[in-house]
Amino acid sequence: MKASALRSAIEADRSAIGSYVMMDNAASAGILAHLGYDFIVIDQQHAAIDLRGLQSAVAATKGTSCAPIVRVHPRRPDQIEWALDLGAHGVVVPLVNSPDDALLATQACRYPPVGRRSVAALRNVLERGKEYMRESNDDVVCIIQIEHFEAVECIDEILDIGGIDAVMPGHVDLAMSMGHTIDYGSSVSNAVPDEVAKAMSVIEVACASRSIPVIPVVGSPKEYGSALQKGQKIACCNTDFHLFMSAAASQLAGCKAEEEK
Active-site residue numbers? Answer: 46
Give a three-class secondary structure readout of the chain.
CCCCHHHHHHHHCCCEEEEEECCCCCHHHHHHHHHCCCEEEEECCCCCCCHHHHHHHHHCCCCCCCEEEEECCCCCHHHHHHHHHCCCCEEEECCCCCHHHHHHHHHHHCCCCCCCCCCCCHHHHHHHCCCHHHHHHHHCEEEECCCCHHHHHCHHHHHCCCCCCEECCCHHHHHHHCCCCCCCCCCCCCCCCHHHHHHHHHHHHHHHHCCCCECCEECCHHHHHHHHHCCCCEEEEEEHHHHHHHHHHHHHHHHHHHHCC
